[in-house]
Amino acid sequence: MTTQKIPTPPTAHKEHTETTMHGAVLADDYAWLRNKENPDVTAYLEAENAYAEAVMAPLAGLRENLYQEMLSHIKQTDISVAYREGAYWYYARTEEGLQYPIYCRKRGGPAGPEADAREEVLLDGNELAKGHAFFSIGDTDISDDGRWLAYTTDTTGFRQYTLHIKNLAVGETQFNVAERVGSVVWAADNRMFFYTVEDEQQKRQFQLYRICIRRINQSELIYQEDDERFNIAVGRTRDGKYLVLEIASHTTSEARVLTASDPTGEFSIVAPRQDEHEYSLDHRNGLWFIRTNDRGRNFRLVTAPVETPGREHWTERIAHRDGIMLEDVALFAGFFIACEREDGLPRLRLWKFAGEGPEAAPSGEIVFPEPAYSAHPHINRIFDTTTFRYAYQSLVTPDSVYEYDVSTGASTLLKQREIPGGFDRALYASERVHATAPDGVKVPVSIVYRRDKFAKDKPGNNPLYVYGYGSYGYALPLGFSSNRLSLLDRGVVMAYAHIRGGGDLGKTWHDAGKMLVKRNTFTDFIACVEHLTAAGYGDPARVAIEGGSAGGLLMGAVANMRPEIFRAVLSHVPFVDVMNTMLDSSLPLTVPEYEEWGDPNQEEYFRTMLSYSPYDNLRAAAYPAMLVKTSLHDSQVMYWEPAKYVAKLRTLNTGGYPLLLVTNMQAGHGGASGRYDYLKEIALDYAFLLRELGIV
């Protein structure tokens, strides 16, 4: 019998620096890791990668088995539900062995593509990705006549997109127009289009350009946003009649509009920006339909005439409700769908118009059968229609596309993702429970497990996995994952904590977990874990937790607060160096983020952030096993945050569990871009968790 020789972990050298702020001294021995051009930085990251591979080497067979398992549950050659826009039906398809989707269209009418219609390939991600380790398509838009395609691509992972224009009539990309592009939209004349550009320092979209396809080298700057809190984006109303310039921070927004058939005109303001006022809009029959939070945090719906859109002319259509969040309004010629969230679950409610006017009455609701699920509008490009497409999935039901008949209230399943490899939905069950936070607040938790592996008569027998995020008002989606079957089939109970800071219970839920009360996010998560183990959903000695980005901050904070209740931590691109990042206004996203975390230049916010910043609160303690993952070209959470975090933790961790740092040297915030490469990353994660939870 041979014993694996445990490799020696790498050690990052120290270069002591100090920053004094509000009377506090922030000591940092690893600030030098910020210098990407320093060969010592690359050497350290590569040494950590080599160490992680060495530690995981005995699990090579398990990783391959997991990869093959997950691959077996994917229909590799598949096609999406086609949707109609103009004279065409659009869809995407995948082919076995190819990393990226192929985007296509066929001519057709309301009934579907013509029987003998030729397939046109619009974009083949596999061809475009050749020669690049990373590839991503960003925004796309097609001119009304179907001739011109504007699209953006990123080949580094830094979310820095190049704008291209393809002539679909000849099948050639003819122009590379601009760099650092965010959104793009065509005007109604099929010649003029608009695009936004980010600034080089903050990576925020701040300029709007107008350009004519006949004068492709003569872009005209028509708007610049100088307030560093705000990003801009450009689009069109669903009826196609107006261009909309959206200008928004985390807490304030403004919309400017221009008739799409008069693209050389001037954008006009609908409602001037006012701090803490957020609104969005769409158009129907000469009226703006405006979703606004002017009367309450959960938004209401009003209308206003196009000619006189000021707030004094707003007429209420759906009032603000304390317990129901109005998340969106999908507006059509004869009806609209109010996309709401109640008790943490999405609702799709139908309102029908009585005629051409704005009066509408509630006319039903799309009912969903499961205790925990996700539902939202699918692609609906036709304004004058009697059907509405929506997407539905749950922890046990694969992602599905339905078409809802507004007249009859009947939903027709158009496609449910096929899960090959022997998936039997009846083997799995989901539940929804509530944990009690330290201040008495009830926090929803969604749970999924395999029925025959979960021994309810032997509580606490199963390993437990808990996922959390809890920031930016983002409601944690409860989607289906065929990858997840590899854990469920091995007896892992999986739970998703809908903690404060997220948007699961509306804007007030977000407010209760940000800025000066951010600690609620962390104590909520701990309460969820303790409730689940106390209720018998998992073995207290075998708890794994996962989070990414702001969810990685969550992982770092709770590991500092209660390291003894976790056995393993999986942390993706974690925002763990909070103080150094938020004190550096030159970094991308920092200034806009003041509205989520607070401005550390103000002492009250500084003290609050310092109290939970994972990097600054690392201490001598026995930490759980950790797999910390990052990407060298991440533009949202810079690679050096997790790198510094791991380097410092190595000097303080008194426990004997593995501490691994894995850096994707060729990707960005989302990790690998190809679907097969991404599966290999998940296989690494799962192998790590399964070993630490004692399953292998």
Contact 63, 691 (CB under 8 A): no
Contacts of 333 (CB under 8 A, 6+ apart): 239, 284, 353, 383, 384, 385
pLDDT reading at 569 higher than 70: yes
Give the residue-averaged pLDDT of 354-366.
94
Which of the 8 DSSP states describes residue 414? E
Query: CA-CA distance, 483 to 687, in Å (whole number)?
Result: 12
Boundary (domain end) residue, out of 63, 88, 123: 123
Q: How many CA atoms lie within 13 A of 537 on its CB side?
A: 29
Contact 636, 664 (CB under 8 A): no
Boundary (domain end) residue, out of 246, 277, 308: 277
Question: What pLDDT does 460 receive?
Answer: 77
Boundary (domain end) residue, out of 253, 277, 301: 277
Q: Which of 136, 669, 673, 685 is catalytic?
A: 669
Helix 60-72, helix 675-692: angle, nearest 10 = 130
> Is residue 373 a part of any domain in this protein?
no
Q: Is 277 a catalytic residue?
A: no
Q: Is 549 a catalytic residue?
A: yes
How far, CA to CA in Å, does 596 sit from each of 326, 439, 515? 21, 22, 6
Token reading at 126: 């596999």
**Does 138 share its domain with 267?**
yes
pLDDT digits (tens, 9 = 90+) for 442-475: 999 999 999 999 976 677 789 999 999 999 999 9
Mean pLDDT of the chain: 95
Q: Is 599 a catalytic residue?
A: no
Q: Which of these, 669, 598, 678, 614, lies nearest to 646 by C-alpha position? A: 614
pLDDT digits (tens, 9 = 90+) for 30-49: 999 999 999 999 999 999 99
Contact 625, 568 (CB under 8 A): yes
Strands 387-394 and 373-377: antiparallel
**pTM score over 0.85:** yes
pLDDT reading at 593 higher than 50: yes
> Is residue 392 a part of any domain in this protein?
no
Query: CA-CA distance, 317 to 331, in Å (whole number)?
Result: 13
**Does 93 share its domain with 64?**
no
pLDDT reading at 2 higher than 60: no
Token reading at 525: 């998560």
Question: How many helices (H) and strands (E) in the chain?
Answer: 12, 40
**Does 474 share its domain with 533?**
yes
Strands (E), 506-567: 543-548
> Is residue 324 a part of any domain in this protein?
no
Contact 650, 11 (CB under 8 A): yes
Query: CA-CA distance, 498 to 446, in Å (whole number)?
Result: 8
> Is residue 431 a part of any domain in this protein?
yes
Contact 608, 516 (CB under 8 A): yes
**Does 117 share its domain with 142?**
no
Question: What pLDDT does 457 receive?
Answer: 67
> Is residue 670 a part of any domain in this protein?
yes
Percentage with pLDDT > 70 across the chain: 99
Contacts of 445 (CB under 8 A, 6+ apart): 432, 433, 434, 435, 495, 496, 497, 498, 528, 531, 532
**Does 112 share its domain with 230?**
no
pLDDT reading at 251 higher than 60: yes
Question: What pLDDT does 544 receive?
Answer: 98
Token reading at 425: 């939905």
> Is residue 314 a part of any domain in this protein?
no
**Does 576 share its domain with 692?**
yes
Q: Which of 328, 616, 634, 685 is catalytic?
A: 634
Question: What pLDDT does 4 receive?
Answer: 58
Residue type, 492: V
Q: What angle do CA 151, 282, 232 make, to 5 degrees?
A: 50
**Does 102 share its domain with 141?**
no
Query: CA-CA distance, 596 to 501, in Å (whole number)?
Result: 9
Strands (E), 611-690: 625-631, 659-664
Task: Give the length of the chain.
Answer: 696
Query: CA-CA distance, 661 to 643, in Å (whole number)?
Result: 7
Q: Which CATH number does the domain housing residue 165 bear?
A: 2.130.10.120
pLDDT reading at 357 higher than 60: yes
**Does 586 share its domain with 471?**
no
Q: Which of these, 329, 333, 373, lies nearest to 349 by C-alpha position? A: 329
**Does 484 share its domain with 576?**
no
Give the residue-averaged pLDDT of 489-507.
96
Query: CA-CA distance, 619 to 566, in Å (whole number)?
Result: 16
Centroid of chain to Cα 691:
28
Question: What pLDDT does 412 receive?
Answer: 98
Q: Which of 143, 482, 549, 571 is catalytic?
A: 549
Query: CA-CA distance, 348 to 364, in Å (whole number)?
Result: 9
Question: What pLDDT does 644 receive?
Answer: 98
Query: CA-CA distance, 412 to 419, in Å (whole number)?
Result: 20
- State the distance between the two ends of the chain, measured CA to CA, in whole angstroms: 18
pLDDT reading at 7 higher than 90: no
Which residue is listed with tokens 């760099």?
179
Which of the 8 DSSP states describes residue 560? H
Q: Which of these, 590, 674, 659, 593, lies nearest to 629 by C-alpha position? A: 659
pLDDT reading at 3 higher than 60: no
In Å, the largest CA–CA distance within the chain is 83
Q: Which CATH number does the domain housing residue 527 bear?
A: 3.40.50.1820
> 32: helix, coil or strand?
helix
Token reading at 189: 């004349």
Contacts of 21 (CB under 8 A, 6+ apart): 583, 600, 606
Query: CA-CA distance, 394 to 477, in Å (whole number)?
Result: 9
Report the number of distinct structural domains present in the chain. Answer: 4
Lowest-pLDDT range, 203-212, 544-553, 670-679? Answer: 670-679
Enumerate the β-bridge partners of residue 268. 257
Lowest-pLDDT range, 111-120, 296-305, 487-496? Answer: 111-120
Range of the domain at 118: 77-123
Token reading at 367: 């009912």
pLDDT reading at 219 higher than 90: yes
**Does 165 share its domain with 222?**
yes
> Is residue 493 a part of any domain in this protein?
yes
Give the residue-averaged pLDDT of 672-683.
91
Token reading at 577: 């160096």
Query: CA-CA distance, 490 to 454, in Å (whole number)?
Result: 10
**Does 38 share its domain with 90?**
no
Token reading at 219: 């872009």
Backbone angles phi, psi at 103, to 5 degrees: -100, 130
**Does 40 share its domain with 116?**
no
